[in-house]
Amino acid sequence: MSTAHLCIALGPLTVYLLLMGLINASRQPFVTSGARDTFSLALGVAGLVMIGPLRLFVPEQAISAFGPWTWALLGAFYILCVLLIGMTSKPRLVVYNMPATQLRTSLGSLVAELDKTAKWAGDSVELPKLGIQLSIESKNTMRSCQIVAVGHSQNLANWAKLRIELAARLKTVKVTANPYALSMIGFALVLGTLIALQIIQNPQIVMDDLRNFLRL
């Protein structure tokens, strides 16, 4: 793998790991929508996709016709595909840095306020007045949870309302920092240092490899 390939592949991934590490090192939970979570992950692996599938299947005719603008078109196509996946997926919320038991307590009190007719069944709940059915799924390794839609009949506007209300509710909740956060931050710093050294020590090689990769 050339120096430019290494920087392109690991650059976005380094930023993503650092961001995830900082979120998990916080003393507060972090709530985001499933679409935003998917989009941020897609940006994190964008470098790997660029030197892999996109580079492998880049159309030669497009390179000849549009030159380096071909990469802009491929990047736009990649982003549109990710947005399509996010928009057509079932509604879900992602809660970082919070155990499932603690999330269920906070979500339970919020659900009771939003819909007094809500019915719980284990980790699933139906809110008839809001047109929402959801279930809590946890990832104990990373101490993150997902609130996933159950069924296809969902009120998307009320899902957005639920996200806003839950984020406001969790701002008052304090949690311990995720022990895995230091690992992610440390790994991100190692990758970032590796990229910086490559650029500092071999600036001309990096530029030549980048021009060759983009076919400038």
Is the distance from CB of 12 to CB of 47 less than 8 angstroms?
Answer: yes
pLDDT tens, residue by residue, 94-122: 999 888 888 888 898 999 898 888 888 88
pLDDT digits (tens, 9 = 90+) for 23-51: 988 888 999 999 899 999 999 999 888 88
User: H or E stretch including 139?
Assistant: strand 132-139
Note whether 125 and 119 are within 8 A (CB): yes
Helix (H) or strand (E) holding 148: strand 144-149
Section 173-197 average pLDDT: 88
Domain ranges of the chain: 1-89+177-216, 90-175
Q: How many C-beta atoms lie closer than 10 Å to residue 38's C-beta?
A: 19
The pLDDT-based confidence of 1 (bands split at 50, 70, 90) is low
Average pLDDT, the chain: 86
Residue 95 phi, psi dihedral angles, 5° rounding: -120, 115
| Stronger pLDDT, 149 or 55, i.e. the higher one | 149
The Cα 8–Cα 103 span in angstroms is 37
Share of the chain above pLDDT 70, in %: 97
Rounded mean pLDDT, 166-182: 87
Cα dihedral sign, 56-2-81-62? negative
- Print burial letters for 129-145: b (CB count within 10 Å at least 16), e (below 16): ebebbbbbebeeeebbb
pLDDT single digits (tens) 116-143? 888 888 888 999 998 899 999 887 667 8
DSSP-H helix ranges across 89-130: 100-114
Mean local confidence (pLDDT), 77-83: 90
pLDDT value at residue 8:
85
Q: What is the model's pTM?
A: 0.84
Determine the Cα–Cα distance for residues 199 and 6; give it in Å rounded to an integer: 10
The beta-strand segments (E) located in 34-128 are 92-96, 119-121, 124-127
Does 145 score more than 60 pLDDT?
Answer: yes
Domain covering 90-175, topology = TATA-Binding Protein (3.30.310)
pLDDT above 70 (res 212): yes
